[in-house]
Structure 1
Amino acid sequence: MLTARGRQTEHRNRMSQQTTIRKLAALVNTPVEKLLEQLSEAGMEFSDPDQVVTSTEKVKLLGFLRRTHGKAGKAAEAAAPKKITLSRTRKQELTVGGGRNKSTVDVVVRKKVTLVKPELEADAGQAAATGPVDEEQAEILRKLEESRQRNLEEQRRLAEEDRRRAEEAERKRQEEEAERQRKEAEAAAAAAAPAGEEPAPRKAGGHGHPKQPSRDERGGHRHKPSRGSHAMVAGVEDDETTARFAGQLHLSASDRARRSSSRARTRTRRQVEQSRSGAGPHGFERPTAPVVREVAIGEAITVADLAQKLAMKGGDVVKALFKMGVMATITQTIDHDTAVLVVEELGHKAVAAQPDDAESELLAHVEDVQGEAVPRPPVVTIMGHVDHGKTSLLDYIRSTKIATGEAGGITQHIGAYHVETDKGVISFLDTPGHAAFASMRARGAKLTDIVVLVVAADDGVMPQTIEAIQHARAAGVPLIVAINKVDKSDADPDRIKNELLAHDVVAETYGGDTQMVELSAKTGQGVDELLDAISLQAELLELRAVADGRASGTVIESSLDKGRGPVATVLVQQGRLERGDYLVCGVQYGRVRALFDETGSQVKSAGPSIPVQVLGLSGVPDAGDDFVVVDDERLAKEVAQQREAKRRELRLVQAAGNRMEDIMAQMGQGEAQQVLNLVIKADVQGSVEALRQALTGLSNEQIRINVIVAGVGGITESDANAAATAKATIIGFNVRADAAARKVIETHNLDLRYFSIIYDVIDQVKQVASGLLGVEIREEIIGIAEVREVFRSSKFGAVAGSMVVEGVVKRNKPIRVLRDNTVIFEGELESLRRFKENVDEVRSGTECGIAVRAYNDVKPGDQIECFERIEVQRTL
């Protein structure tokens, strides 16, 4: 009996065997028109080459073609046998009873099968026995016969699979029935047994059981007639009951049931083992082609997660990374580029991971904000070299005295101001000019609309001036040159313009497009012309922004105030920032508790191009982070947490990204590299970045400067403990240590240094690093004497009469004896005499007598080299 799955398989295969006229024509190598004509002659009407030709119609066409060419002879047809009858008889003996009642019974199993052969096979044999026919028709017949044979083989295979499935189902049913009968028999035997008496156990051995007849011999399953098969069962003579219980007639019903269940369990175990080993109809089959997977990779991913997405063992991925030169463990995090390389190396495809849900929600949140763009004030960044008057110029415009309060007369961080002038509102960003603050200047150039380059007329174009020009060009913002200090006697504005020509900055007076204004920040000369130039440039830019709606912008500077907490100076670029807004700023989030302008006064809101100080964030954001106002605190917190997790993964990648080349380079170093650990705390985030970059840039092959802690705010107890653990030097830039931190510093005798000018920080770190490097012993040759004659002395042995040809020879310094420019002895002087007097030194051009201690093999022509060892302090 066929199961539902077997019927579906048979139906699917019948559908897959359908052939169109076009395919049949290509198979038999015959034109489609000719095949349609032959089908019409055979009595089958076909009009479309894409019509389906069934197996019956193929056979009909084949018979027609044979009859047309006289290939269906009656004699050959009569000679072929119509059917074959097979008879099989099997005899065996069974032993019934036991003891004196023992008897033997003969069991005879007879089986008769009649096989009928279809006419088509006889026709095929007749066609093979006939004479030659038309070559083209013979080819058609051959192709049709091959197609028919393939179909028959496929049908026979499918029928065999269906038969096996039916047998499996019937066997399972019989096993279940036998198990049920066994349980019923055991229950009945237990109920019929006398109290206290257990059922007699079944005897093992005693009587040999003959081999059970095979499935075909028992006739337990008849051959089912299948569609399209050659052989059909005409009749079967068999006694199923006798075959099934052959060899078990002497057993009771319960014993037979137990034996049947035992054999069923054996067969079940065999089937399970076959399925585990890949055998059987439901065994595992190896894929015929490699499976290419699409692996989504974010900014960083652990090796274990990557192996899981690749459906591979973690050790295989680690091995692939090792072959690429990356040493990583299974729990280590690798960056995006490395993960993409290893995925492609393993034959898979890497795709970029979709952004997190919170980030996607935030992006949709920002894109929803739309409004009418209105004119906005320009953002102007003042840039230039140190001490060229940038802050003084801004002070004159703001009518304040900020420059006098700066430590050392230089700006240490970005200042943000907005000024109401006769030309309108202008926002100014004041950037530091020291070389260490390159990142601040680059950040200021990206935020600005116009760059004002201040150049001192009495100094000229300096390195930071050139760097400011490069930042302005990289940001794509227009440049206005303010030539300052023209009121000085040695000022030469024309020289400044000529020097700027070398950097492709051409003044309008020279036919260029750069406005240059000569001014004096001290007297105010030319400041109005500068404001006019800024206003003119802003009109040309047509600056506009959305004034209403949720605000967005960039963090200019951030700090940690002891009384107010984290304070961020932000520049609003779109929308309006108000008190009570929820915002996410980099990895920090919070609610705006208060807004302050540059004068310290509270404001209710801030529009586009207006810098304000924001209170209420969860922590100190990094300078340069973007901020966005959202509807609720939940979204802000989720986005901040996801960004923090990504940043932590990237830090792990940077910390653990060891490659074999790096390890080999460390192994190849002769001396161990010294490490100077630093703890840096500053008043603002920009100063922290500048100090970190400037100090780590002092590292070389002998010493590596490692910043273990860097942050904003005062020096706390945790900072001091970290410094004590790593034996680090603590640097406080415009901040101080609290009482708990000072106690830890005194207990561990830590090195704490306060600074307010970045020059002093760099100089003192150089001194500390030089102290760690230690001293280097160098040898310096101070004099050379040439041996002219050798004298023998009873007191000193061999005495070399020599001439000092270079430098000076001193008695208390070590010497070397050279012969043919090769050192043959190194030691000390026994005596140094000038005539008969002992002397301490003999200078160049003077004769002397030299006795070498513990060496008497001096010969004329040798050179005696006098040298001294000096200690040189290593420096960076």
Structure 2
Amino acid sequence: WKRKGMPVSSCLLQHNRGRARCGCSEEAGEGGSAGGEASPHGPGPHHSLQQAGLGAQRHPSCEMLIYKIHHLFTVHLSSGEKITFLDTPGHAAFSAMRARGTYVTDIIILVVAAEDGVMQQTIESIEHAKNAGVPLVLAINKCDKPEADPERVKKELLAHDVVCEEFGGDVQAVNISALKGDNLTILAEATVALAEMLELKADYTGLVEGTIIESRKDKGKGPVTTAIIQRGTLRKGCVLVAGKTWAKVRFMFDENGKAVDAASPSIPVEIMGWKEVPSAGDEILEVESEQRAHEVVAWRTYVEQQEKMKKDGEVIEVKQKEHRMEYEKKQQNLAHLTWRQRKAALYKASKHLMLLKPKERAETDKNVLSIIIKGDVDGSVEAILNVLDSYDADDECKLDVVHFGMGDISETDLNLAETFNGVVYGFSVKANETIKKMAAKKGIKIKLHNIIYKLIEDLKDELSSRLPPSVVENTIGEASVLDIFSVTVGKSKVPVAGCRVQKGQLDKKMKFKLIRKGNVIWKGSLSSLKHHKDDVQVIKTGMDCGLSLDKHVEFNIGDEIICYEEKEIQQTTSWNPGF
């Protein structure tokens, strides 16, 4: 936005949600849906600002799929000012994305639902704002609802050092209804007033600086980034460096998908011309020439390699120590053997693995799940990896991410999956018919999803399928020992229990156990089951019988005989990712 007498001023604001709920057709936050998708809670404040006669238009390239990317747009006020909004998903999986967004904004609009109050993501957003030193404007949404209690929200926020003006603080609070559009103009005016007080300024001259908000690999365009310019003016032909890649800007597009020749501070812009896909959050720096860009990238790559070598060396040292200990233990176990016996023992231990192919070796350890993650954009992959970081059930099944990246499922992904006996997971990407046929031929699973919690649920099912089934005993009948006697079989005397069935029935072909004072004395099968003098297969409730066990066990009067069957039940992973 421009202020009188201040032609180089700009204002970039972040609309940061305080709480989010998972859904199948919308990403719902405190204000409802992200990106203006249909929601039972109504449109979000950012969408309502666009629809409230403030002059902004929404465009397909900024459309936000469920748990996908930031929603970046500009609102034009009737007074002539412009506000650029960066709307981030509120779900816990996108914590890193919200933190990144905080550092590229001048003001955060913290949206809290009047009926729900302060939630976990609200607190997280406040912490991000504190760490970045970014001031807040509080928007209390859903104030049109009967159960709305804006005053409770303000009081709850006091515990987190967010003090509204009416309590002597400096945080403006605006009661709004995104659904009805109430007070959205007042919210915009409050934001502009804070921007004027902060005297926000930007330098339109000099080398360009900015931040990558999102990145992806487009089939037609190649590597593409969405960025915010923070210093200088970006033009076609500029040479940029971000992370370990660089670009000579070929094309730029504004938020409406319209080609532009220049982008000034606080304006969202889509940039084409990158050699590789940089990461979301990378800093953009303009350099003087392509040669200088090569030098910067080469140096950054070298530094990263040195750091990796240092970390790898530490890991290798630990592994070597483990191997030495294992070797010494094996040597101790073989110490008492002759050299011929040692050779035979070592050959026997390794023979089985030597005959296995790589895939078969992986199958010998079913409690390992190797996965390949592919996503449409960098932020999607990052969000999934953030969820996987919470995995804490390695004792049940080890989860190994062997590869992750952006783009559709490729032959390389299938080759990795075949090598590691893994599963390929894709988020908002495709697998063409050739890839599908190749995967079917190789017996490789490809799981494609467009909703993050559906992908995680699928992964949980796959993890559960790798767990051994648990055995559950299902009681069929119970009997009490009322008398004890013995019969002669051959030259041996066999203990016999005279019993009465108290519950269910005794079925000779099932399993049995002998309980004495709450302790299991024996488990096994019956060698004999008689009713009077007749051999029988089943004894029902209330009937008397004589029985002997498949093992010589002395009975006591009062012992319990339990007839049961064993059933295998598939275990489920104990991992709780928070969905």
Q: Could you tell me whether the CA contact under 8 Å between 1:721 and 1:744 is conserved in 2?
A: no
Q: Could you tell me whether the CA contact under 8 Å between 1:781 and 1:865 is conserved in 2?
A: no
Aligned CA distance change for structure 1 residues 525 and 800 (closer, same or farther; 3 Å): same
Q: Tell whether 2:48 aligns with 1:396.
A: yes
Match of 1:737 in 2: 431
Match of 1:375, SS state, is coil
Q: Could you tell me whether the CA contact under 8 Å between 2:215 and 2:224 is conserved in 1?
A: yes
**Matches of 2:501 and 2:131, distance apart in 1:** 65
Match of 2:550 in 1: 854
Cα drift, residue 454 of structure 1: 1.7
**Matches of 1:664 and 1:470, distance apart in 2:** 41
1:207-245 Cα deviation digits (max 9, x unpaired): xxxxxxxxxxxxxxxxxxxxxxxxxxxxxxxxxxxxxxx
- In the alignment, which of 652, 658, 674 is matched to residue 367 of structure 2? 674
**Matches of 2:133 and 2:505, distance apart in 1:** 66
- In the alignment, which of 412, 415, 432 is matched to residue 721 of structure 1? 415
Q: Matches of residues 153-192 of structure 1 in structure 2 within 5 Å?
A: none
Aligned CA distance change for structure 1 residues 779 and 470 (closer, same or farther; 3 Å): farther
- TM-score norm. by structure 2 comes to 0.77
Cα drift, residue 548 of structure 1: 0.9
**Matches of 1:770 and 1:654, distance apart in 2:** 33
Q: Tell whether 2:70 aligns with 1:414.
A: yes
* CA RMSD across the alignment: 3.4
Aligned CA distance change for structure 1 residues 841 and 646 (closer, same or farther; 3 Å): farther
**Matches of 2:506 and 2:429, distance apart in 1:** 57
Which one has a larger percent helix, Structure 1 or Structure 2?
1
Q: Which moved more, 1:571-580 or 1:798-807?
A: 798-807
- TM-score norm. by structure 1 comes to 0.52
Q: Could you tell me whether the CA contact under 8 Å between 1:734 and 1:755 is conserved in 2?
A: yes
Q: Tell whether 2:388 aligns with 1:703.
A: no
Aligned CA distance change for structure 1 residues 375 and 807 (closer, same or farther; 3 Å): farther
Q: Could you tell me whether the CA contact under 8 Å between 1:390 and 1:454 is conserved in 2?
A: no
Q: Matches of residues 536-547 of structure 1 in structure 2 within 5 Å?
A: 536-547=193-204
Q: Matches of residues 60-99 of structure 1 in structure 2 within 5 Å?
A: none
Structure 2: gaps of 5 or more residues: 1-5, 21-27, 35-43, 52-56, 330-363, 574-579
Structure 1: gaps of 5 or more residues: 1-371
1:279-323 Cα deviation digits (max 9, x unpaired): xxxxxxxxxxxxxxxxxxxxxxxxxxxxxxxxxxxxxxxxxxxxx
Paired letter, 1:416: L
Q: Tell whether 2:12 aligns with 1:378.
A: yes
Match of 1:647, SS state, is helix
Aligned CA distance change for structure 1 residues 428 and 807 (closer, same or farther; 3 Å): farther
Paired residues, what number? 499
Paired letter, 2:183: G
Match of 2:214 in 1: 557
Q: Could you tell me whether the CA contact under 8 Å between 2:210 and 2:229 is conserved in 1?
A: yes
1:308-359 Cα deviation digits (max 9, x unpaired): xxxxxxxxxxxxxxxxxxxxxxxxxxxxxxxxxxxxxxxxxxxxxxxxxxxx
**Matches of 2:388 and 2:373, distance apart in 1:** 10
**Matches of 2:461 and 2:148, distance apart in 1:** 38
Aligned CA distance change for structure 1 residues 740 and 511 (closer, same or farther; 3 Å): same
**Matches of 2:530 and 2:173, distance apart in 1:** 77
**Matches of 1:557 and 1:427, distance apart in 2:** 16
Match of 2:301 in 1: 644
Match of 1:398, SS state, is helix
Q: Tell whether 2:456 aligns with 1:800.
A: no
Structure scoring higher RCO (CA < 8 A, sep ≥ 6) equals 2
Q: Could you tell me whether the CA contact under 8 Å between 1:384 and 1:390 is conserved in 2?
A: no
Q: Could you tell me whether the CA contact under 8 Å between 1:374 and 1:545 is conserved in 2?
A: yes
Match of 1:694 in 2: 387
Match of 1:482, SS state, is strand
**Matches of 2:90 and 2:320, distance apart in 1:** 36
Aligned CA distance change for structure 1 residues 829 and 503 (closer, same or farther; 3 Å): farther
Percentage of matched positions with identical amino acids: 36
**Matches of 1:789 and 1:839, distance apart in 2:** 21
Aligned CA distance change for structure 1 residues 405 and 602 (closer, same or farther; 3 Å): closer
**Matches of 1:864 and 1:444, distance apart in 2:** 67
Aligned CA distance change for structure 1 residues 663 and 479 (closer, same or farther; 3 Å): farther
Aligned CA distance change for structure 1 residues 416 and 593 (closer, same or farther; 3 Å): same
Match of 1:580 in 2: 237
Cα drift, residue 561 of structure 1: 0.7
**Matches of 2:172 and 2:504, distance apart in 1:** 64
Paired letter, 1:675: V
Q: Tell whether 2:416 aligns with 1:764.
A: no
Match of 2:513 in 1: 816
Cα drift, residue 705 of structure 1: 1.9
Match of 2:258 in 1: 601
Q: Matches of residues 606-625 of structure 1 in structure 2 within 5 Å?
A: 606-625=263-282
Cα drift, residue 872 of structure 1: 2.7
Aligned CA distance change for structure 1 residues 533 and 662 (closer, same or farther; 3 Å): farther
Aligned CA distance change for structure 1 residues 872 and 498 (closer, same or farther; 3 Å): farther
**Matches of 1:529 and 1:715, distance apart in 2:** 47
Cα drift, residue 789 of structure 1: 1.6
1:443-470 Cα deviation digits (max 9, x unpaired): 1112212111222234443332222222
Aligned CA distance change for structure 1 residues 652 and 672 (closer, same or farther; 3 Å): farther
1:751-805 Cα deviation digits (max 9, x unpaired): 1121111010100000011112232334566766443321446799543234668
Paired letter, 2:398: R
**Matches of 1:477 and 1:583, distance apart in 2:** 27
Which one has a larger percent strand, Structure 1 or Structure 2?
2
Greater Cα radius of gyration, structure 1 or 2: 1
